[in-house]
């Protein structure tokens, strides 16, 4: 497995260098589209997904790929997550809105799923050059250094509540609670970077509403393997094959409970 972990990390770096970064701040007219209201896709997203998917299938023959753009073209691809065999979840460019606007952050993300459960994860921030990897039961690593998140909730409460997709009643509850947060940060519009910022200690929590697998499966495993907590807002586990909304990630259990009580209590 160690060889596969290293090979996937190298694949993401190669695709970033050959496909994604050459288009960054150089997208031509017609290379940015709106695939749904407020949802952008670029030629680089599609090329990146093809390159990553081809590479992953070569690394693990017999595996299948569930990618954001593949699901956009054919929603039935999402059903592959329930397959018992190896399934790759791919976000070819997370933070496409940032990428299309010519600024960061954005990330390339993938996770390996077996039997409906994630067993490995990778997030690459190509602008920072930062790569996070995790293997189930073996910990999380940031640029080769193992990450162990603090187990207590000391210090100021600092993090993000992404409110773009929150329903009105939840948005109102969160708005009432935000003044009690020591430092409420603006969202980065890039889930991958939000998860990386938990691993680096730049923030203690992040609250999401939409929980699409390519946005959250890699980050959830990384945070879990580092000792953090990622759960649904009702306290249940994040099931990547299930329906539902709302996800709260935090550096540890006390912080998760404190944020939940503050923003959703």
User: Rounded to the nearest 5 degrees, what angle is found at the Cα of 246, between the Cα atoms of 196 and 105?
Assistant: 30
Indicate the class that CATH gives domain 158-264.
alpha beta
| pTM of the model as a whole | 0.96
Dump strand ranges (E) for 37-170: 39-42, 64-67, 87-94, 107-114, 117-125, 130-135, 139-142, 145-147, 158-161
Mapped onto helix, strand or coil, the DSSP state of residue 8 is helix
Rounded to 10 deg, the angle between the 213-225 and 191-200 helix axes is: 10
Kindly list the domain boundaries of the chain, sorted by start residue.
Answer: 2-147, 158-264
Query: Which is the CATH superfamily of the domain at 2-147?
Result: Fructose-1,6-Bisphosphatase, subunit A, domain 1 (3.30.540.10)
Where are the extended beta strands (E) located within the chain? Answer: 32-36, 39-42, 64-67, 87-94, 107-114, 117-125, 130-135, 139-142, 145-147, 158-161, 183-184, 205-208, 229-231, 247-250
CA 57 to chain CA mean position, Å? 21
Q: What tens digit of pLDDT does each residue of 30-82 get? A: 999 998 888 999 999 999 999 999 999 999 999 999 999 999 999 999 999 99
- Convert the pLDDT of each residue in 72-125 to its tens digit: 999 999 999 999 989 999 999 999 999 999 999 999 999 999 999 999 999 999
Q: Does residue 15 carry a pLDDT above 90? A: yes
Q: What is the pLDDT of residues 197-209, one digit of tens each?
A: 999 999 999 999 9
Helix axes 253-264, 168-177, angle to 10 degrees: 110
Mean pLDDT rounded to a whole number for the chain: 95
Please check the confidence at residue 154 and state whether its pLDDT lies above 80: no
């Amino acid at each position: 497995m160690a060889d596969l972990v290293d090979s996937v990390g190298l694949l993401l770096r190669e695709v970033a260098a050959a496909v994604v970064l050459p288009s960054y701040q150089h997208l031509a007219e017609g290379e940015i589209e709106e695939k749904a209201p407020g949802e952008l896709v670029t030629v680089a997203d599609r090329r990146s997904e093809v390159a990553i998917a081809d590479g992953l299938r070569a690394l693990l023959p017999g595996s299948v790929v569930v990618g954001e753009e593949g699901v956009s073209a054919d929603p039935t691809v999402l059903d592959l997550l329930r397959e018992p065999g190896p399934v790759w979840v791919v976000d070819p460019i997370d933070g496409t809105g940032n990428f299309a606007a010519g600024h960061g952050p954005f990330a390339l993300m993938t996770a390996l799923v077996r039997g409906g459960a994630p067993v490995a994860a990778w997030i690459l921030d190509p602008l920072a050059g930062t790569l996070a990897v995790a293997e189930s039961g073996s910990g999380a690593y940031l640029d080769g250094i193992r990450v162990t998140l603090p187990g207590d909730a000391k210090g100021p409460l600092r993090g993000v509540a992404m409110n773009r997709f929150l329903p009105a009643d939840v948005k109102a509850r969160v708005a009432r609670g935000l003044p009690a947060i020591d430092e409420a940060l603006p969202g980065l519009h890039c889930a991958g970077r939000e998860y990386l910022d938990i691993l680096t200690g730049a923030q203690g929590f992040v609250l999401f509403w939409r929980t699409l697998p390519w946005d959250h499966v890699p980050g959830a495993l990384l945070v879990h393997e580092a000792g953090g907590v990622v759960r649904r807002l009702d306290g249940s586990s994040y099931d990547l094959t299930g329906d539902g909304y709302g996800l709260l990630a935090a550096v540890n259990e006390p912080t998760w409970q404190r944020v939940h009580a503050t923003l959703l209590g």
